[in-house]
Amino acid sequence: MLIGSHVSLKAPKMLLGSAQEAASYGANTFMVYTGAPQNTKRKPLDEMKIPEGRAYIEEHGFSHLVVHAPYIVNLGNTLKPQNFAFGVEFLRQEVQRAAAIGATQITLHPGAHVGAGAKAALHQIAQGLNEIITPDQKPQIAIETMAGKGTEVGTSFEQIAEIMDQVVYNEKLSVTLDTCHTNDAGYNVKNDFDGVLEEFDHVLGLEKLQVIHLNDSKNPQGSHKDRHENLGMGTIGFEALSYIAHHPQLEQVPKIMETPWVPLADNPKKKVAPYGEEIKMITNNQFDPTFVERLSHSEN
């Protein structure tokens, strides 16, 4: 099983620090943003400690690394065409950064139509991907399933297929299935994941599923809210999430957690990562209902 989490990539250790953080959680894969997810400021490749990081990654047996593109790139916004060219150029460079650090997938929020309608957004996203993708690039762009808050697109497998069908080199596209988003979009992740997987296979092809974001949800199925919860503490529940993580058809798909950090009981402004505990529970297929409470009283 490939299991890991989002980890930070920041100075001074950059990629080396990311890999070391992932190792501290007991992970064998991980995901990074190449800079802050809320902006598009990025350091030059020669400042990202890539040789040191890649040596550590190889030494510790990490594989199937994922880059997450920043949230604010919205290729679907047809109402602000001045932003489209910038988004395309940024994502071209993100492909280069992902390749340089050894990532195989780039998770991308497809975007939002901001009032112009889903059809217009889906067409423009495909147009942007046609400008970004080259036939010889190594990382795939993994379009993420979205919850449907606001005017988000990519809330159904059919909408993602509509994008892919318009992209020339669509073998360079894949899908990130976020369990929280997919639940909140209306799919029965909790009680019928095999049915969800069968529908995915019918609409997109199971070979397109290359990343799973393994998150519980604070909200019920179909709520269109997109609020992540710690594993076993939300409406999807540990049993369903562990079933997904151990699913035999998804063995070689990296499962990445983006669950909330836990505030300390005596200092709520300070938070600790839950990922080591969550990876342990998933690996052992055994839920510990006290893990959040224990973390909130930890010394870390």
- Answer yes or no: is 246 a known binding residue: no
- Answer yes or no: is 144 a known binding residue: yes
- Answer yes or no: is 123 a known binding residue: no
Assess whether the previous peptide bond of 110 is cis (omega < 30° from 0).
no
Burial degree of 299 (CB within 10 A; 0-12, 13-18, 19+): exposed
- Answer yes or no: is 60 a known binding residue: no
The beta strands (E) that lie in the chain are given as 3-6, 29-32, 66-68, 105-108, 140-144, 173-178, 209-213, 216-217, 228-229, 255-257, 262-264, 267-272
DSSP annotation of 145: P
Cα 161 from Cα 202, distance rounded (Å): 11
The residues, any chain, with a CB within 8 Å of residue 27's CB and separated by 6 or more, are: 3, 4, 5, 62, 275, 279
What is the three-class DSSP state of 128?
helix
What is the three-class DSSP state of 152?
strand
- Answer yes or no: is 213 a known binding residue: yes
- Answer yes or no: is 258 a known binding residue: yes
Burial degree of 297 (CB within 10 A; 0-12, 13-18, 19+): exposed
- Answer yes or no: is 228 a known binding residue: yes
- Answer yes or no: is 226 a known binding residue: yes
- Answer yes or no: is 178 a known binding residue: yes
Residue numbers in the known binding site are 68, 109, 144, 178, 181, 213, 226, 228, 258
Annotated binding-site positions for Zn(2+) = 68, 109, 144, 178, 181, 213, 226, 228, 258
